[in-house]
Amino acid sequence: MVVLDGNQLTIDQMKEICFQHETVEIAPESLEKVRASRRSVEEIVLNGDTVYGINTGFGKLSDVRIPDQEVDSLQLHLIRSHACGVGDPFPERVSRAMVVLRMNALLKGFSGVREEIVKRLCELVNLKIHPRIPSQGSLGASGDLAPLSHLALVLMGEGEVYYEGNVYPTKHVYQKLQLTPIQLKAKEGLALINGTQAMTAVGVINYIEAEQLALICDWVSSMSLEALEGIIDAFHPAIHEARGYPEQIEVARRVREMTSGSRLVTYQGEKRVQDAYSLRCIPQVHGATWQSIAYVKDKLEIEMNAATDNPLILNEGRLIVSGGNFHGQPIALAMDFLKIGISELANISERRVERLVNPQLNDLPAFLSVDPGVQSGAMIMQYVAASLVSENKTLAHPASVDSIPSSANQEDHVSMGTIGARHASIIIENAYKVLAIELICAMQALEYRGVEKAAPVTKSLWEAARTVVPSIVEDRVFSNDIERLSRWLKGDQFEWKAWQSYSQGGRYYVDHA
């Protein structure tokens, strides 16, 4: 059970909620803050004061005063008109994250919603009712309006949801579970959709998957280092301490530990003086990506606990101010940084694939084929890796450098943060496939060298991965192997026990189905 209070939600907790379906609970003190902010809204309505989002129109229509009898209708029309997202739906895991993050933001007590709203969001999480939300249509300011409107529809008993592995009309699930649709009151519609929870939800899932990718990348590249009889001297701690980046130092240390005991790695001058950059510069390149990942984590954990509504009800209800906390620029920049960092992991991985398959760059069988010429082996796998990294280069173009005016130029600068987050998720998916290709090639090369000569750590990875993808004894449809191994590396069944064990001084191993 994860207790939400609007202030202390972490990525580790989000991993439990979204990947392990941990339930959530509302902190009592936060519920009292919600009640207090709601009383302020009700006083405004009662006194007839004019306040944006409570009894005015929205965006360019903010100067239009809404009659008191139309205040509730205003919220209904707001959600229905803004629920115009298009494209494929977000993955169910992202939808779950959006519900949690929206609830956590409302629990800060700055939004003026009734406690029924946050309690229903809590029910959706615990009953595993996840809104089906189109992934396209957000500018990232005024927040993720279109995606969050599809979330808000579900509270009203409208739209569609994922439930028990299927997609149903929300009203069908509500009837089955005897849940009553909520009629939104003053400000509640705006409070539900003014925020960055779509881009942040995608960002959180991206971070979790990117962190695992980066860890596995260190491991797979260590196997490639062995398979190519790479020079271990380049990972000497003094080299990396001389530069000073902690992330670079840690990658070098991991590679040394992962290759410890190997009879395949070589030493400077033994076979060659220097390796190519794709081997020699693993700590420098991977380490720089780890820096981007750390930056992303910092920004996400701030945004996960941020008040992104407008207007905000502050100073215990005595101050109501319109601002711009819904603007997604911090997350837009973070996602663009993540895109570049992960793209580079795939780029250098593809270069190692080339060194593994190119007979002009190694002394292995050409393209790792069992019968070069008659059989092509891993030749076209390198083509696929090259295609994926080239696609990543186009996706890595920063979304945040673009902006376009909306709402009759009232909203004249937007973040495109959700586009950046969506593109980052595609890059991560592509990178897992590139890494799967490197692993297939490294395992095959390791067999030619002699698996018995490998380090215990890399041998454990070879043993586990061989239960997913068999050795190449004859050309086959390698598409299946790449997809299956990519899912295995990315999936929940791949437990990075090695990383935990390493930090505790234990041995490396990997659990597998």
Looking at the predicted structure, is the pLDDT value of residue 510 above 60? no
Q: Residue 329 — pLDDT band, cuts 50, 70, 90?
A: very high
Which class for 449: exposed (0-12), middle (13-18), buried (19 or more C-beta within 10 A)? middle
Structure tokens at 426: 């595609």
Looking at the predicted structure, is the pLDDT value of residue 436 above 70? yes
2-195: in CATH 1.10.275.10: yes
Q: Residue 492 — pLDDT band, cuts 50, 70, 90?
A: low
Spell 277-314 as b/e; 16+ CB within 10 A means b.
Answer: ebbbbbbbbbbbbbebbeebbebbbebbbbbbbbbbbb
What are the angstrom distances between the C-alpha of 86 and each of 138, 202, 310?
A: 10, 16, 25
* Contact (CB, 8 A) for 295 and 182: no
pLDDT at 500 (0 to 100): 44
Specify the higher pLDDT residue, 181 or 508.
181
User: How many whole angstroms from its chain centre is CA 314?
Assistant: 32
Structure tokens at 397: 């173009």
Looking at the predicted structure, is the pLDDT value of residue 410 above 70? yes
Specify the higher pLDDT residue, 42 or 229.
229
Instruction: Tell me the C-alpha distance between 33 and 30, whole Å.
Output: 5
| 3-class DSSP string for 167-211 | EEEHHHHHHHHCCCCCCCCCCHHHHHHCCCHHHHHHHHHHHHHHH
What are the angstrom distances between the C-alpha of 31 and each of 117, 374, 393, 490?
A: 11, 70, 46, 37
Phi and psi at residue 91, to the nearest 5°: -55, 150
Looking at the predicted structure, is the pLDDT value of residue 512 above 90? no
Instruction: Tell me the C-alpha distance between 54 and 186, whole Å.
Output: 5
pLDDT-wise least confident of 191-195, 413-417, 452-456, 504-508? 504-508
Instruction: Tell me the C-alpha distance between 303 and 307, whole Å.
Output: 8
Q: Which helix (H) or strand (E) holds 395?
A: helix 379-395
Looking at the predicted structure, is the pLDDT value of residue 94 above 50? yes
Q: Residue 506 — pLDDT band, cuts 50, 70, 90?
A: very low
Give 67's DSSP letter: P
Instruction: State mean pLDDT over 152-178.
Output: 98
Looking at the predicted structure, is the pLDDT value of residue 157 above 90? yes
pLDDT at 495 (0 to 100): 53
Instruction: Tell me the C-alpha distance between 46 and 244, whole Å.
Output: 62
Report, as residue numbers or ranges, the catalytic residues.
Answer: 52
pLDDT at 49 (0 to 100): 77
pLDDT at 494 (0 to 100): 54
Instruction: State mean pLDDT over 46-70.
Output: 75
pLDDT at 513 (0 to 100): 36
Q: Where are the domains of the chain?
A: 2-195, 203-503
Whether residue 131 is preceded by a cis peptide bond, meaning omega within 30 degrees of 0, is: no
pLDDT at 60 (0 to 100): 67
- Full-model pTM: 0.94
Instruction: State mean pLDDT over 419-443.
Output: 98
Spell 463-478 as b/e; 16+ CB within 10 A means b.
Answer: ebbeebbeebeebeeb
pLDDT at 350 (0 to 100): 98
Q: Residue 70 — pLDDT band, cuts 50, 70, 90?
A: confident
Structure tokens at 424: 């980052």
pLDDT-wise least confident of 73-77, 199-203, 244-248? 73-77
Tokens 């239009």 sit on residue:
64
Instruction: State mean pLDDT over 161-166.
Output: 98
Looking at the predicted structure, is the pLDDT value of residue 16 above 90? yes
* Contact (CB, 8 A) for 109 and 34: yes
Looking at the predicted structure, is the pLDDT value of residue 503 above 90? no
- Average model confidence (pLDDT) across the chain: 92
Structure tokens at 309: 């509504």
- Pairing status of strand 160-163 against strand 166-169: antiparallel
Instruction: Tell me the C-alpha distance between 483 and 57, whole Å.
Output: 49
Instruction: Tell me the C-alpha distance between 382 and 116, whole Å.
Output: 55
pLDDT-wise least confident of 100-109, 165-174, 449-458, 489-498? 489-498
Looking at the predicted structure, is the pLDDT value of residue 56 above 80? no
* Contact (CB, 8 A) for 482 and 384: yes
What are the angstrom distances between the C-alpha of 258 and each of 246, 423, 441, 455, 462?
A: 18, 32, 18, 7, 12
* Protein fold of 203-503: Fumarase C; Chain A, domain 2 (1.20.200)
Tokens 């409570």 sit on residue:
54
Per-range mean pLDDT, top range of 51-60, 313-322, 372-381, 436-445 = 436-445
Other beta carbons less than 10 A from residue 480's beta carbon: 10
* Contact (CB, 8 A) for 136 and 191: no
